[in-house]
Structure 1
Amino acid sequence: MELHAELPEGPVLFVANHEGNFDVPVLISALPKPFGFMSKAEVKKLPVIRKWMVEMNCVFIERADRRSAVRAIREMSDKLRAGHSMLIFPEGTRSRGHGLGEFKSGFVRVAKDAGVPVVPVAIRGTSAIMEQNGNWIRPATVTVDILGAIQPVSIKQAGAAEVAAAARDQITRRLERRLNENTAAS
């Protein structure tokens, strides 16, 4: 794990790319702050995991229900204002290692409403643990890079699309750098 900028004090909204099923466990071990995260509502059907996620201050969303998305945004903002850092995957679904998807800008509203910094996180290699192996779990090299925070004043001044693009660009550049490092080492 590499920290490329000083992590702001207080709660933050971590924004990460979403490669695979192991992103959350890897990020729990790598990020220096405890956090809750947004998850699809189907996960609530798993009793032990549901209880653990509730304790972590996670927020559940019915992806097909627009009202659920509005409630989830409000709930995440409330948790951030209460002092809990949160994590969101703005791609909305796992890429399975096939490039970075488009970032939905809903996370900008969360950060703006809560008045907290957005901290982009680039994660690489988690899809090699499972998704790229026919759903068999295999060892893999994973990197997590915590990038420069986008401060609340910048979030308030810029449009949602601009902030989403800035976070995505930071993550894209870091992932490309990691790819180039691996290619040069081979």
Structure 2
Amino acid sequence: MSVQEDKQVIKSARTFSYLFGYLPVAATNLAKFKKRKAGMSQQDYSRLIHSEPQKWASGIMKRTGSQVEVSGLEHLPEGPVLFVSNHEGNFDIPVLLSSIPKPFGFISKEEVKKFPIIPSYMEEMNCVFLDRTDRRSAFKSVTDTIEKLREGHSILIFPEGTRSKGQGLKEFKAGFMRIAKDAAVPVVPIAIEGTSRIMEDNNNQIRPARVTVQVLEPVTPEQLESAGVKAAQVVRDRIEQALDTIQ
């Protein structure tokens, strides 16, 4: 094994050790947060809950040695939004949790519930769980997401459905447009590039990478309505154009 390969193995071990080693601390803090919930506004509690995953995600990214460049945070509006991002790699969620100051939940695979502690946090973050093998679960995930947005929570969705692993932007499943239109919230497109170089490109070993996150101008409910059946393509085009600008 070469020196470079040795470094990759060590970096991978440190990253995954932190990923799961932080869970006892997170569990203790979650119990404290829940006790404070009754005396807090929804907005303040969301910020409090978001602070812990943000620390966790920042710690993970630090251990990968990656450089994350974020732009467009000035585009974040007040109130609930549907974040719509391309999905390049497994590190998309840690990158976005550590980069986006606005609290949000996200749609996640049902299998995540098998992990300790993490699902409890995700429920408090207003994440939505999806069983892709069950049509009823897919329908419920849509209605649950709409309900959470109407309640004032922001949600992140990856409309490609699966990771592109750096192989170019895939087609967007149009179902996310129903969520945005029924909830009457803005869509905030996010273009993320470089996460696949952290792990997927390296046989699942961790390497430092340059990652860029671009928060794009919101697409208002009125603009979505005006675009009609082309609304999903409008959002995808904005993300694609942003990705094309990366050098």
**DSSP 3-state at the match of 1:148:** coil
Contact 1:5–1:149 (CA under 8 A) maintained in structure 2: no
Partner residue in 2 for 1:173: 241
Q: TM-score, normalised by structure 1?
A: 0.92
How far 1:153 moved relative to its partner?
1.1
Partner residue in 1 for 2:156: 87
Contact 1:5–1:147 (CA under 8 A) maintained in structure 2: no
Partner residue in 2 for 1:41: 110
The structure number with the bigger radius of gyration is 2
Structure 2 segments unaligned to the other structure (5+ residues):
1-69
Partner residue in 1 for 2:191: 122
Using the aligned pairs only, state the percent identity. 60
**DSSP 3-state at the match of 2:111:** helix
Structure 1 segments unaligned to the other structure (5+ residues):
182-186
How far 1:32 moved relative to its partner?
2.6
User: Which structure is higher in RCO with an 8 Å CA cutoff and minimum separation 6?
Assistant: 1
Paired residues, what number?
A: 178
How far 1:154 moved relative to its partner?
1.8
**DSSP 3-state at the match of 1:158:** helix
Q: Which amino acid aligns with 2:242?
A: R
More helix by share: 2
Contact 2:89–2:196 (CA under 8 A) maintained in structure 1: yes
Q: TM-score, normalised by structure 2?
A: 0.70
Matching of residue 154 in structure 1 with residue 223 in structure 2: yes
Partner residue in 1 for 2:96: 27
Provide, for residues 101-138 of structure 1, a one-character-per-residue CA deviation record: whole Å limited to 9, x for no partner: 11001111111111100010000001111111100111
Q: Compute the RMSD of aligned alpha carbons.
A: 1.2
Aligned residue among 102, 105, 108 for 2:177: 108
Q: Which amino acid aligns with 2:218?
A: A
Aligned residue among 77, 86, 93 for 1:8: 77
How far 1:99 moved relative to its partner?
0.7
Q: Which amino acid aligns with 1:139?
A: P
Contact 1:129–1:139 (CA under 8 A) maintained in structure 2: yes
Contact 1:96–1:131 (CA under 8 A) maintained in structure 2: yes
